[in-house]
Structure 1
Amino acid sequence: MINVQFAALPARWDTYREPLKRAFAEAGLTVDMRQDHPADQVDYVVYAPNSDLQDFTPYTRCKAVLNLWAGVEKIVGNQTLTMPLCRMVDPGLTAGMVEWVSGHVLRYHLDIDRSIAMQDRWEPVVPPLAFERPVTVLGLGALGSACAQSLARIGFPVTGWSRSAKEIDGITCLHGDDGLKQALSEAEIVILLLPDTPATNNILNADTLAMLPKGARIINPGRGPLIDDAALLEALDSGQVGHATLDVFRVEPLPADDPYWAHPNVTVTPHIAAETRASTASQVIAENIRRGEAGEPFLHLVDRSLGY
């Protein structure tokens, strides 16, 4: 019998209980999954960082903590978490992110907002074709790579930037400080899909925003701290940035008095770009437990030194 502790808010238990049971059965695992196992009898923890569990010291038998979220910034620095930590790379979440990002890129590319605003007059404006609209994706992990490849299939010339060197078919891949300058200087649309780490905090700031072509658009479904908010607002006011669509923020929910709400060149969405789907995420959890029991490497293991 494999003892699995489900450590998340109560609503998550209601959402995940049956999908996880099905996934365990399909994987051939005999699992006793509860919310209240004695800590020293737990083999795996299925985990959300906003749960009450913050001290992992009593979990002496635990083989891995399996995160329900793609982001691990709220838990990766926990000094009591000494066992392997796996982040969630969920096919359903990836598909949702690709759809959301593609939709907002096309919204900018086709100038759909302008068309909607001109319902009372006939002023045709023909957009360029996709191959004439350079797009840059900052972050080439699972989500960034999937979005970059999807946009390239539509026809956009896509440049991807990451901290370390990557190779992705059909994508111009850059890295390092010089690569970041090049990636931004050519981008009419920039998509942020980097993790939240000390190295990526405020990666879009006054200096890097000035590298963009005037009027560039920004889409951030990644992490709020990737953007220096004051610098972005200044760039929006000056016209250096034409518009920003923001799905994530340093404080969530976004406070009612935040200037983003009222800015005419900002679209706020309430952290909806991608959500972990219980059905597909449960299969990832089950596969990692199967791997742990078989002595195989875990999927999506977090590198503590990098923070993701």
Structure 2
Amino acid sequence: MSMLIVCPGKDPENWVKALENQHPGLNIYVYPEDHDKEEVEFALTWNHPRGLFKNYPNLKVIASMGAGVDHITQDPGLPEDVKITRIVDEMISEDMSDYVLSQVMNHIRGLHEYTKMQQEKKWDRFQYKRPKDTKIGIMGLGVLGNAVADKLNKNGFQIYGWSKTEKTCDNVTSFHGKDQLDEFLENSEILVCLLPLTKDTENILNANLFDRLPEGAYVINAARGQHLVEHDLMEMIDNGHLSGASLDVFREEPLPEEHPFWEHSKINITPHIASLTNPNSVVAQIVENYERMKEEEPLKNKIELDKGY
């Protein structure tokens, strides 16, 4: 019985060391090194090659290295009956909350504009907004959405939330379903996307949705690049309906050098760093699920494959 690590483009060394420290004697293979595919029952992965896992006849569990699982669920070649798990970690939630708060504050205080003015040696001032006067709408009220809502609420913002199904979140005015989406958007001066990526949420950040936001609204996407229709965003910024955007995720990563986002003065770019998984922080839950698999016990943080999250 072995564990396989598959993370093309990432250095797996820290994961291997953390797993060995947590579970001495665990037999670990790192793709694409030579190994016996029949031995592998548990895979730990991020952005595996599509169709890879159908070559493992005894695979029982595929564990994501992060909070997202769309990089797994969108593979049409997954083995039948395989279970998929995700990471739930306080450090990831805290880091995401800090990221969103920093982008919100950057926007309402105009710090991005002042950075550009410094480069132009331009001395000017403009009025800023205060947290208590700012309405923030969060799309997605899962673990990360709740953490972000709590952080923003503690900093004095008015918080609104929207999810596919009804959810209750402390200090959040919550909406759910398509029928309540318009009312949610009307109260979103800053829109934060933290939705899981599914067939229903792909391309949800589009011109039709942007048009229902208040004039001058600002968009923060820290979920997945496939949520956003890029042309629609730029068009709505350029026509003045949106004031700008902060983007941490993109359809193609790294963002190609020729992409127009790089040169857009009202789009703030970060390279998918809103929250990074620390192997030492999460390895215990991975090993616990490995042991649960061996004992045929229920797995922790298992996703519902039909929902995609």
**Equivalent position of 2:217 in the other structure:** 216
Distance change >3 Å, CA 114–CA 230, structure 1 → 2:
closer
Distance change >3 Å, CA 260–CA 114, structure 1 → 2:
closer
**Equivalent position of 2:98 in the other structure:** 99
**Equivalent position of 1:89 in the other structure:** 88
Gaps of 5+ in 2: none
Q: Quick one: which amino acid aligns to residue 97 of structure 1? A: M
- Distance (Å, rounded) in 1 between the aligned partners of 2:178 and 2:94: 30
**Equivalent position of 1:261 in the other structure:** 262
Distance change >3 Å, CA 120–CA 196, structure 1 → 2:
same
Query: What is the CA distance between 1:280 and its match in structure 2?
Result: 1.2
Q: Which string of whole-angstrom CA distances, capped at 9 and with x for unpartnered residues, describes residues 55-87 of structure 1?
A: 334533333111113322232143432211112
| Contact persistence 2:135–2:190 (CA under 8 A) | yes
Query: What is the CA distance between 1:140 and its match in structure 2?
Result: 1.3
Gaps of 5+ in 1: none
| Contact persistence 2:64–2:72 (CA under 8 A) | no
Q: Quick one: which amino acid aligns to residue 40 of structure 1? A: E
| Contact persistence 2:204–2:228 (CA under 8 A) | yes
Query: What is the CA distance between 1:108 and its match in structure 2?
Result: 1.2
Distance change >3 Å, CA 81–CA 134, structure 1 → 2:
same
Q: Which string of whole-angstrom CA distances, capped at 9 and with x for unpartnered residues, describes residues 211-262 of structure 1?
A: 1111111111111121111111111011110011111111222222222111
Q: Quick one: which amino acid aligns to residue 94 of structure 1? A: S
| Contact persistence 1:90–1:284 (CA under 8 A) | no
Q: Quick one: which amino acid aligns to residue 49 of structure 1? A: N
| Contact persistence 1:91–1:281 (CA under 8 A) | no
**Equivalent position of 1:291 in the other structure:** 292
Distance change >3 Å, CA 184–CA 101, structure 1 → 2:
same
Which of 72, 76, 101 is 1:75 aligned to? 72
Q: How does 1:240-259 map to 2 (within 5 A)?
A: 240-259=241-260
- Distance (Å, rounded) in 2 between the aligned partners of 1:57 and 1:206: 38
The two structures have a TM-score, normalised by structure 2, of 0.89
Distance change >3 Å, CA 175–CA 120, structure 1 → 2:
same
- Distance (Å, rounded) in 2 between the aligned partners of 1:72 and 1:123: 44
Q: Quick one: which amino acid aligns to residue 105 of structure 2? A: L
- Distance (Å, rounded) in 2 between the aligned partners of 1:222 and 1:53: 21
Aligned pair count reads 301
Distance change >3 Å, CA 97–CA 89, structure 1 → 2:
same
| Contact persistence 1:44–1:289 (CA under 8 A) | yes
- Distance (Å, rounded) in 1 between the aligned partners of 2:3 and 2:303: 20
Query: What is the CA distance between 1:152 and its match in structure 2?
Result: 1.0
**Equivalent position of 1:137 in the other structure:** 138
Indicate the structure whose relative CO is greater, using CA pairs within 8 Å and at least 6 residues apart.
Answer: 1
RMSD in angstroms over aligned alpha carbons? 2.2
The two structures have a TM-score, normalised by structure 1, of 0.89
Query: What is the CA distance between 1:7 and its match in structure 2?
Result: 2.5
Distance change >3 Å, CA 24–CA 112, structure 1 → 2:
same
**Equivalent position of 1:65 in the other structure:** 62
Q: Quick one: which amino acid aligns to residue 63 of structure 2? A: L
**Equivalent position of 1:55 in the other structure:** 52
**Equivalent position of 1:40 in the other structure:** 38
